[in-house]
Amino acid sequence: MQKDEGYSKCIRCGKTRILLKRWKDHGVTGKGNVVHHEQTVCPDSECQKIVDEKFQAMRDIKAKAEERKKAVLESKLMAKKPVSTSAKA
Ligand SMILES: [Zn+2]
């Protein structure tokens, strides 16, 4: 049986994406396990452009949602004042 290369299909046109580059680094922290990266693109450059924009928009939405979540969390923390433990007997 042919082994699946594992390249994803384009979410837009369904073409098998082609490998643009492959590299490895130590992740965002710069330490720890080696992280393998693969960047694949749609063989149709016009399609890839649209997909890129879509992904960028998704990232923006996600980032905004994260920000909001953090803000809510922070306001909750602010509202909840630390309980004083210096209860003297
Ligand atoms: Zn495509």
What's the length of the chain? 89
Contact by Cβ (8 Å): 11, 51? yes
Question: What contacts 51, CB < 8 A, 6 or more positions away?
Answer: 10, 11, 12, 42
C-alpha 45 to ligand 1 mean position (Å) = 8
C-alpha 57 to ligand 1 mean position (Å) = 17
Would 88 be classed as within a structural domain? no
User: Does residue 4 carry a pLDDT above 60?
Assistant: no
Query: How many domains are contained in the chain?
Result: 1
Contact by Cβ (8 Å): 39, 20? yes
Range of the domain at 62: 18-79
**Count of beta carbons in the 10 Å neighbourhood of residue 30:** 7
Band (pLDDT 50/70/90 cuts) for residue 29 is confident
Would 36 be classed as within a structural domain? yes
The predicted-structure confidence for 41-87, as pLDDT tens digits, reads as follows: 999 999 999 999 999 999 999 999 999 999 999 999 988 766 667 66
Mean predicted confidence (pLDDT) in 1-25: 83
Short-list 42, 38, 37, 53, CA closest to 11: 42
Band (pLDDT 50/70/90 cuts) for residue 31 is confident
pLDDT of residue 2: 52
User: Does residue 5 carry a pLDDT above 80?
Assistant: no
Would 40 be classed as within a structural domain? yes
